[in-house]
Amino acid sequence: MSSKVNESTQVTSADQLRNVVLVGAAGSGKTTLLEQLLKSRVPGYRGEKESPERAAALFLTSFTAGPAWVNVLDAPGHPDFVGELRAGMRAADAAVFVVSAADGVDAATASLWQEATEANLPRAIALTKLDAGRTDFITALDNCQQVFGAGVQASHYPYVDDDGRILQVLSLVSTNLHDYAGGSRVDGPSGAEHAEVLDELRPPLIEGIIQESEDDAMMDRYLAGDEIDGASLYADMCRAVASANLYPVVPVQAHNGVGIDELISLIEKGFPTPSLHPNPDLLNPQGESLGPAPAAPDAPLVAQVIRTTTDPFAGRLSMVRVFSGTLHADSTVRLSNMTTAAEERIGQLSIAVGTELKSRTSAIAGEIVMLPKLSKAETGDTLSAIDNYVTVEPWTLPEPLLPIAIKAVTRNDEDKLPAALQRLSLEDSAVRVDRSSGEQIVLWTAGQAHADLLLNRLTQRYGVSVEQEPLRIPLRETMIAKATAKGRHVKQSGGHGQYAVCDIEVEPLERGAGFEFVDKVVGGAVPRQFIPSVEKGVRTQLEKGVIAGYPMVDVRVTLFDGKAHSVDSSDMAFQLAGSLAMKEAAVPGKTAALLEPLDLVTVTVGEEYMGAVMTDLSNRRGQLLGTDSNTSHQAIITALVPQAELTRYAIDLRGLARGTGKFTREFHGYELLPSNLAEAYLKQ
C-alpha cells in the first residue's frame, strides 16, 4: 500500500469530483497506465502486486489533479468479468477507454463503447503500445474511428524514434510541443517541421470542437482563416468532451509516463463533475420512473451498492456511490431493491486516498465510499433516507451461461460448502448457484476464467476444497409404446406373509402431460384400501426411474386387475407390487426410452460469422428455427439445441465469432434422445 496523498481528503463540493472508469481489453496496457497515473500523483507509491483477484475485480483508487479529486475505478479487462465493468460504468461519470495500438479495438471493447453511447457517458481514448512492432499512430487512430464512429479525434500526436519510444507529443489544440527526449516534459512551441501533421489532423478536431462551442461566431472566424485562441479552443473541447460529443485520442507510453500529464489534464478539465452528468432514474415502489435523483448534498439521500466483497476475517465491505444527498456514518437508512425493503445501519465510512482507505464522517452526492459490515445490503441495492422509499434502476447484469458441477472433497468440506456458496453468490452477482436437480451443485459462471476464479475463492478464501465432476444432464424417461405387466410380490417366511398382485397397463402421453393413474378394477380383485398403495408404489418407481435412474414422465398407468390375500396383503406389499409391475412394463428401446432437455437458443453475432454459427449449431444437433437481423447489422439466429450440446457453448461461441457473439438460452422441453446416444446412458 502507498503512503497517503498530501492534499486534504475532505470534499466540500461535487465540483471537485471526477469519477472515472478505466475500460480496456486484457493486455491493452490498462493496469500499467493506472500504475503510472498513481505514481505521478501519489507520493511514495510503489505499485500494487498483480493477483487473480485484483485482475477480476472492480478496484477503487484516487488521486488529485489540480483542484479536482479523481476517483478511478479500474475495471477488469477479461470479458468474463463484464458485470464488474458495468458496475464501474454505473458508478462513474466518464470513461477512459484504453486501446492497444498493436492489437486494435477488440469486439468486447467495441460492444462496451456502444453501451457507453447508449448511456451518454463521456469518454476519452488512451492509445497505448505504440512502441510495439509494425504499429503507428495514424493506423491506430483510423481503427478507433472506424470502430467507435463519429466524434473520435486525435487531440495529441506522438513523434517516435526508431525504437518506438515517444520523444515528443504535439498538442493539436494549442499547437504546443511537449518534449520528453530528456526524460522529463519540457514545453515549447511547435516548428515548421510539425506543420504537415497540424494541417492533416488539426482541422477535423477544431471543426468538431467548434460544432459544440457556445460561441456562434467561432465557426465564421475559423472559416475566414482567423487564428483561434488555443485556450478558448481547449475550453470548448472540454465542454464537448463533458457532453459526450467529442472523444479525444491521447497517445501514452505508460511505462515511462509520456502522455500521462496530458491525460490527467483532460480528466480534470474535460470530464464532467457529478452535478453535470445525469444520475440514473429512480423508481417508486410500483416500479414507475421518477426521473433522476438530484445531485445535490442537501437533497434526500440516494445511494447504490456498486460492489460487495466478503472476507473470512473482516466480513463484508461494500462500495457505494452516493447519487444524491449526504450519507452520514452511524446513521440508519432504508435499504431497498426491486422486491424488498428494510432498514440498514451505517457504521463506519471510508474513502479511497491513493490506494488506502481513510475514515470519514460523511460523504456528499457524487462521492464513492466504502462501507464495512453492512448486514443486509447486496450489490445493486439502494440506500436512501428512511422516509424516501425509492430504488435506483438496476444496471444490466450478464446472464451466466457456463455451467460447472462441483462436489466437496471431504465430509468437513461438505459441511462448510453451503455457507461458502452463500458468501460467494453474495460477493459476485455474476454467479448463480443451482441445486435444483438435487443430485449436483452447479455453478453457472460467465466463462472459464470466471469459473477458475470462483473455485480458487472457495479454496483460498473460504477454506473449502472442492473438485469438478462431469455435468449430469437432467434426462427423463418415458414410455414409447403401450405395455401390460404384472407385479407380483408374494413371500412366506413364517407368521404373516406378504401377498400382492397387480395388473397394470402403461401407455405414453403427450409431452408435458405429466402422470395419470386410472383405476379400472372391478369385482374387488384389488381391495379399495390397497388401490392407493399401488399408485404410491408406481409413483415412487417413476420418481426413481425405471430403465436408467431418471424420473419417468408423461405416462398413464391403468390398474385393471390383481389379487389379494385376506391375511397377508398389506399397504407395503401392494406398493412393492406396483413398483415391480412398472419395472416389468418398461423395456428399454421397445416400450420405454430416454428424453433429453432442449433449450431455445438465440444467438446474436456479426453477419460475417452467421454461416459458421449456423453450421456449428447443426453439428450440435440443433434444429434451426430462423434468422433475422438487427439495426446494428448483426445476425440473430434461433434454434432448439439439446442441453448436452451447450455445456461449453459460452466458450466455443466466443472463439467461433472472435468475441462478437452472445446468446441466450431458455428451457423449451423434452424430446426423445437418439437411440445411439441413449445406449451410453443405459449402460451406466
Model confidence pLDDT, tens digit, residues 617-653: 999 999 999 999 988 788 999 999 999 999 999 999 9
pLDDT tens across 198-221, in order? 999 998 998 888 877 666 777 777
Q: What pLDDT score does 312 carry?
A: 66
Query: 662 phi and psi, to 5 degrees?
Result: -145, 155
Instruction: Domain 15-270: give its CATH architecture.
Output: 3-Layer(aba) Sandwich (3.40)
CATH 3.40.50.300 domain range(s) in the chain: 15-270
Confidence of residue 375 (pLDDT cuts 50, 70, 90): confident
Most confident of 100-114, 161-175, 345-359, 533-547: 533-547
Confidence of residue 44 (pLDDT cuts 50, 70, 90): confident
Assess whether pLDDT exceeds 60 at residue 6. no
- Cα 344 from Cα 325, distance rounded (Å): 17
Residue 574: name the closest of 489, 480, 681 by CA: 489
Sheet (strand 302-311) strand order:
341-346, 331-336, 382-384, 302-311, 315-324, 368-372, 350-353, 356-359
pLDDT tens across 301-324, in order? 999 999 988 766 667 899 999 999
Q: What pLDDT score does 395 carry?
A: 87
Q: What pLDDT score does 314 carry?
A: 65
DSSP letter, residue 525: S
Side chain identity at residue 535, one-letter code: E
pLDDT tens across 442-470, in order? 999 999 999 999 999 999 888 999 999 99
Confidence of residue 51 (pLDDT cuts 50, 70, 90): confident
Q: What pLDDT score does 495 carry?
A: 67
In CATH terms, the superfamily for domain 281-392 is Translation factors (2.40.30.10)
DSSP letter, residue 313: T
Q: What pLDDT score does 210 carry?
A: 84
Assess whether pLDDT exceeds 80 at residue 222. no
Assess whether pLDDT exceeds 70 at residue 8. no
pLDDT tens across 520-549, in order? 999 899 999 999 999 999 999 999 999 999
Q: Domain 594-683 carries which CATH code?
A: 3.30.70.240
pLDDT above 70: percentage of residues in the chain? 96
Confidence of residue 439 (pLDDT cuts 50, 70, 90): confident
CATH 3.30.70.240 domain range(s) in the chain: 594-683
Q: What pLDDT score does 637 carry?
A: 97
* 336 burial via Cβ count (<10 Å: 0-12, 13-18, 19+): buried
| Coil, strand or helix at 550 | coil
Residue 361: name the closest of 9, 59, 58 by CA: 9
Q: What pLDDT score does 10 carry?
A: 67
pLDDT tens across 577-612, in order? 999 999 999 999 999 999 999 999 999 998 899 999
Cell of residue 11, nine digits: 470534499
Assess whether pLDDT exceeds 60 at residue 675. yes
Topology adopted by domain 402-469: Alpha-Beta Plaits (3.30.70)
Q: What pLDDT score does 286 carry?
A: 86
Assess whether pLDDT exceeds 80 at residue 283. yes
Assess whether pLDDT exceeds 90 at residue 366. yes
Q: What pLDDT score does 3 carry?
A: 34
CB 555 within 8 A of CB 595: no
- Cα 252 from Cα 288, distance rounded (Å): 45
**Half-sphere exposure of residue 506: CA atoms within 13 angstroms, side-chain side:** 34
CATH 3.30.230.10 domain range(s) in the chain: 476-587
Q: What pLDDT score does 195 carry?
A: 93
Confidence of residue 679 (pLDDT cuts 50, 70, 90): confident
CATH 2.40.30.10 domain range(s) in the chain: 281-392
The mean pLDDT value for 419-438 works out to: 85
Assess whether pLDDT exceeds 70 at residue 9. no
**Which residue spans within 325-401 are E strands per DSSP?**
326-328, 331-336, 341-346, 350-353, 356-359, 362-364, 368-372, 382-384, 391-392
Q: Residue 320: enclosing H or E segment and its boundaries?
A: strand 315-324
Q: What pLDDT score does 627 carry?
A: 95
Q: In whole numbers, what is the pLDDT of the chain averaged over residues?
A: 90
Q: Domain 476-587 carries which CATH code?
A: 3.30.230.10
**Residue bearing the bigger pLDDT, 51 or 376:** 376
Q: What pLDDT score does 474 carry?
A: 92
| Coil, strand or helix at 202 | helix
Confidence of residue 274 (pLDDT cuts 50, 70, 90): very high
Confidence of residue 7 (pLDDT cuts 50, 70, 90): very low
The mean pLDDT value for 330-351 works out to: 90
Assess whether pLDDT exceeds 80 at residue 47. no
Residues contacting residue 262 through CB under 8 Å, at least 6 positions apart: 155, 156, 169, 171, 178, 250, 252
